[in-house]
Structure 1
């Protein structure tokens, strides 16, 4: 049961002082000098800025070594090297996706993330073992965090026969979204790979989120094949292309033609804003009407030593990658880990308005830009009307 809550003396991102009344887990009223009965729990914000709960649009909870001893990374530079190394290491160590996903999810929550999309490895070695662990985490946190699970063929689909059936099983067991990976360079048959992916998604009536690392012209070719299928099957608004490095490699004219198709078919793009590879151009995406949002990707796993479960940090990295310096531009970076992420992933009832789900984060910052740049400790985190963290420490 959700208690009524009145948060007083806070400021909206535009600086306007306000109070926020919460009832039944939802924002009931926003305005100055609100009054409620004595039975309502009160929280004095002491002038803090209130933000909507953050959205992690792309991570891998099942892979993380968060809180574990340091993993010494000596893997080769090729994508296939990392895939094979990870699969071997997880099998050899008995890596516990349940315990590790719970540890990282709780760290996300303490830092203000209340909605999260995670990709979970499905392959013929592990079967649904990693999925079962993350399903347990989702159940354990169901009252305080909304977690979407992507059934992801990290080792490829067609190159490992039987993976397609396992992906279907994963969707039947509770995965929310169907994943895919580099149909040309990993599966080495983009037409057949995409046909199978869309057939599975259509059969189970699930959206798609595909990792597309493929570069330049190869990536553009695959992207157009994907868009053909989005149009043919009426899957507008139900497909995300993660990474989409090819869009950062194409000539402007070719890129803009592709962006126009992407916008027309309402396909969203996910970026981690990496510094080491080309990325989709933020301004070009905005001008074309394409939704571009952000996520961490893996955090402290066999792929990368980097990453933290702090979406303000990811917003800062977006700002740095796209050279966003003006305060109004840094607000765009925050949109990538809030409103745009919610829109792209389909997290409903999101935002700072009456009738939205009461997911609130209080930070000591003068402006939204300062919050992104300085990443202050979260003073208070509320999810669905329940206080779940204070001063960066989760209470659940």
Structure 2
């Protein structure tokens, strides 16, 4: 048994759970952190107690890339008749949100709560910064973050969905968004959307450096043009000392390059500690999972949009996303499916920079209990979450949210 000293406040003891390695243990929680893990931990008088009944113990899940502000979660079905191009989706979404009065605050809160009930305790969301809407969508998501502060650790990316250079004033809005509370600067397809990758990247890195913020860029650009843009981005990471502070989301180009060219870029990505995010889509090239691991590149997972004007797909269940990652990459062995789970847990926490994460003493107490034999079983069966603990508080039981006043279990 290992332990760490904590004053006994907000204490909780969870007994008889199985770690992923099969060991039966108890978990003691105090002050929002794991205080001890081991068999037969003492039950102090007055400490809330939960009987795990042999359930599988998992760390809280991490959503590495979503768009809470766009979702129609819980609304009437959106009938999607949008055109096939990326610009069609961008223009359609801007028009619909303006005409419908879509409320980013209410909708982001609804979806964030659904993520939490399904076991996600850390989340990175991209929020549209637009010259028509200004900071309105950001203000709604900031309110959601404040409402769930203490149970859902949320990073907000200020994202120029229409690009940076084509709509004058976008750079000023991004600057204001970072000052207003956004954590990360977003960017989008410097060559195909902004039509000037050098200027686009220069402005992006200038804003990020001015605010000392990391960057998370959507890079949908295919093949050679994507590789060219990625090379320019890596040049700037090296020149400006931003190693470990940049994520490239999607990076479709890495799934369509000849192996020699691809591996050269993977080597640079690893050396500069630039992480990759994939949603593991079935219909476009994706960064190669095992070559990324072999080269030391961090590759993690996320949903992208969940039920919005872009897509009817997506779910706040990160076990489902792990399953889709497994299917996209042909993962069938139990040890390979554990890699898919890492993409929505430990690796995603590392890629996003979430700290104090994991199932170890001293980590923030973010725990999920499920009725499953192994991680692989949990991924493919996606059972109901029996218990979700976030920052030491019980936030969901049997798939349903728990009132804030009753987070501490049953005293015995």
Same fold (TM over 0.5): yes
Kept after mapping to 2: 8 A contact 1:2/1:386: no
Select 1:57's aligned residue among 55, 58, 64.
Answer: 64
Spell out the pairing of 1:128-207 with structure 2 (5 A cutoff): 128-207=135-214
SS of the residue 2:281 aligns to: coil
Select 1:313's aligned residue among 317, 320, 326.
Answer: 320
Q: For the aligned residues, what is the CA RMSD?
A: 0.7
The offset of 1:36, in angstroms, is 2.8
Unaligned runs of 5+ in 2: 1-7, 404-412
**Structure-1 separation of matches of 2:44 and 2:318:** 35
**Structure-2 separation of matches of 1:57 and 1:2:** 31
Select 1:334's aligned residue among 341, 348, 354.
Answer: 341
SS of the residue 1:22 aligns to: strand
**Structure-2 separation of matches of 1:178 and 1:374:** 36
The offset of 1:395, in angstroms, is 1.6
SS of the residue 2:385 aligns to: coil
Offset from partner CA, 1:43-85 (integer Å, 9 cap, x none)? 0000000100000000000000000000000000000000000
Aligned residues: 396
Kept after mapping to 2: 8 A contact 1:2/1:385: no
**Structure-1 separation of matches of 2:151 and 2:346:** 19
1:42 correspondence with 2:49: yes
Unaligned runs of 5+ in 1: none
The residue aligned with 1:386 is: 393
- Normalised to the residue count of structure 2, the TM-score between the two structures is 0.96
**Structure-2 separation of matches of 1:144 and 1:286:** 31
**Structure-1 separation of matches of 2:182 and 2:87:** 25
Select 1:120's aligned residue among 106, 115, 127.
Answer: 127
**Structure-2 separation of matches of 1:232 and 1:344:** 21
Spell out the pairing of 1:235-384 with structure 2 (5 A cutoff): 235-384=242-391
**Structure-2 separation of matches of 1:308 and 1:359:** 20
The offset of 1:186, in angstroms, is 0.2
**Structure-2 separation of matches of 1:381 and 1:120:** 26
**Structure 1 consecutive aligned stretches of length 4 or more whose deviation exceeds 4 Å:** none
The offset of 1:2, in angstroms, is 5.5
Select 2:229's aligned residue among 222, 231, 244.
Answer: 222
**Structure-2 separation of matches of 1:273 and 1:202:** 30
SS of the residue 2:58 aligns to: strand
- Normalised to the residue count of structure 1, the TM-score between the two structures is 0.99
Kept after mapping to 2: 8 A contact 1:98/1:134: yes
